[in-house]
Structure 1
């Protein structure tokens, strides 16, 4: 895999897609788990968006590891890397809950009854996965911004 795209490092480009898709996946999974009307309208959309987010996580970490070889090591960068390594399990959980939720919805639409307790458990697991994934993405993004910008000398920047 090339390390850049027309001279730009791939990591920031892929990370921006990741930062958009994962919260979008979390939102659609949450709405689908808690709001039957949205669930009926969205169908497999939360599953598809979650799958895209799931694919983007290893791409983000892989390009990050490549970029890490070209920048000065720091404690902030190390923290960012450690936090990023913790996202994949959350994203797997979010994807799994979206698949299970859609399967329950699909079965109920095709005449198979589902116990209310199963739906409630899946909704609770969806909330846990959504919160965990969203918090982890925010922590990773914040630590990445700090790693990229904390050492930058902003004293020469003119303020309006």
Structure 2
């Protein structure tokens, strides 16, 4: 077994299934935990570990896909799929950073509601208040999660088109009805 082929078959077709499942799962977990920090506290380190595993699988899958691309011949649909696939790594990195931030915010103790004595301290306290941080985490989690899931969808659709165009009989035969 290698990172390019498993038992004589391209590893990309196996790895891609992990990415297709883990990116939306990680995105959903990040949003839920950002909206409800008690869930972030409940699942603990699992959240950023899920983000890390998802992030780690993206370059492995991309590498296996590039290996496969070099063996399927020149096809514009395959090139488009490869170019789209190269764009997933920044989304996966963002998703990992969001899971890390949401986990960290979930661990923070509630700050006291006492006003700060100094003017500069009051301004800083306002921007680091639990409400502001939680709102920022929710907005960031939703934005990054949506971007990552949409990107996975676009990549998957282009990969399906590349793999299946002109590779099946579009007319139904009498024996299959």
**CA drift at 1:147:** 0.3
Asked if 1:148 corresponds to 2:163, the answer is yes
Q: Does 1:41 align with 2:42?
A: yes
**Is 1:101 matched with 2:64?**
no
In the TM superposition, residue 40 of structure 1 has moved relative to its aligned partner by: 3.0
Tell me the CA shift for residue 36 of structure 1.
3.1
Shift of 1:4: 1.6
Please say if residues 52 and 96 of structure 2, whose CA atoms lie closer than 8 Å, have aligned partners that are also in contact.
Answer: yes
- 151, 154, 157: which is aligned to 1:136? 151
Compute the TM-score of the two structures, normalised by the length of structure 1. 0.90
User: Residue 112 of structure 1: CA displacement?
Assistant: 5.4
SS in structure 1 opposite 2:108? helix
Structure 2 residue corresponding to 1:117, chosen from 129, 132, 139: 132
1:68 alignment partner in structure 2 = 69
Mean CA deviation greater in 74-83 or 41-50: 41-50
The count of corresponding residues between Structure 1 and Structure 2 is: 158
Q: Distance in 2 between matches of 1:51 and 1:2?
A: 18
Q: CA–CA distance in 1 between the matches of 2:97 and 2:27? A: 12
- Render the CA deviation track for 1:108-154: whole Å, top value 9, x for unaligned: 2xx65651111211111111110000000010011000000012132
* Larger Rg, first or second structure (1 or 2): 2
Unaligned runs of at least 5 residues, structure 1? none
TM-score by structure 2 length? Answer: 0.82
- Aligned counterparts of 1:106 and 1:60: Cα–Cα separation in 2: 32
How much has 1:78 moved relative to structure 2? 1.1
Runs of 5+ consecutive residues of structure 2 not aligned to the other structure: 113-127
Contact 2:30 2:141 in 1 (8 A): yes
* C-alpha distance in 1 between matches for 2:33 and 2:170: 47
Residue 77 of structure 1 is matched in structure 2 by 78
Deviation string, structure 1 residues 35-90 (Cα, Å, up to 9, x no partner): 23422322222211111110000001000000001102211111111110110001
